């Protein structure tokens, strides 16, 4: 990625994430999957399953927006959905054995890429990067809270 004069931190973060996204898209496509589907599988608790309403916010979506994805993953025999025993409105999602294999494969791909990064920049610089990214996220969260408060007034 060529560095642009007067580049901002947020533009560099966005461009970097876009390249990483394209890489993960290519990895998913190689296995006949989609990034969204794999990300959904990664957010399911492997042992207990997860509620669709809990997965949605982790993906930046509303629960109602997951219907098509859940149906697709269910049709591919990657997940099973069932109504909660107490609250029948809640849908519990569990991984099938095939879904568990897909999830583990995806986790391996992510781990391998993270290891590549660490090999390239070293453990110390990786730790510093993680700290810096955490600080940037905290600053953005703080600013978002301020903006929400301003909108309430």
pLDDT at residue 65 above 80? no
The model carries a pTM of 0.80
In 3D, which of 24, 110, 40, 105 has the Cα closest to residue 73? 40
**Six token digits for residue 27:** 């990895």
pLDDT band at 4 (very low <50, low <70, confident <90, very high): low
Query: In the prediction, which pLDDT does 124 show?
Result: 98
Query: In the prediction, which pLDDT does 49 show?
Result: 93
* Distance between CA atoms of residues 107 and 72, nearest Å: 21
Gyration radius of the chain's alpha carbons: 19
Per DSSP, 36 falls in state H
User: What's the CATH code, domain 9-121?
Assistant: 1.10.10.10
pLDDT in tens, 88-123: 888 899 999 999 999 999 999 999 999 999 999 999
Q: Pick 80 or 148 by higher pLDDT.
A: 80
pLDDT at residue 18 above 90? yes
Query: In the prediction, which pLDDT does 56 show?
Result: 87
């Amino acid at each position: 990625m060529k560095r642009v004069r007067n580049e901002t931190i947020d533009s560099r973060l966005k461009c970097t994430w876009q390249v990483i996204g394209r890489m993960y898209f290519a990895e998913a496509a190689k296995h006949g999957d989609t990034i969204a589907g794999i990300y959904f599988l990664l957010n399911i608790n492997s042992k207990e399953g997860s509620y669709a309403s809990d997965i949605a916010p982790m993906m930046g979506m509303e629960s109602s927006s997951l219907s098509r994805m859940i149906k697709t993953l269910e049709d591919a025999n990657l997940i099973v959905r069932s109504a909660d025993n107490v609250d029948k409105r809640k849908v519990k999602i569990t991984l099938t054995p095939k879904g568990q294999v897909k999830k583990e494969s995806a986790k391996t791909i992510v781990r391998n890429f993270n290891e590549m990064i660490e090999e390239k920049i070293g453990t110390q610089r990786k730790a510093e990067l993680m700290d810096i990214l955490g600080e940037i996220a905290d600053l953005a969260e703080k600013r978002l809270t301020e903006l929400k408060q301003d909108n309430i007034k």
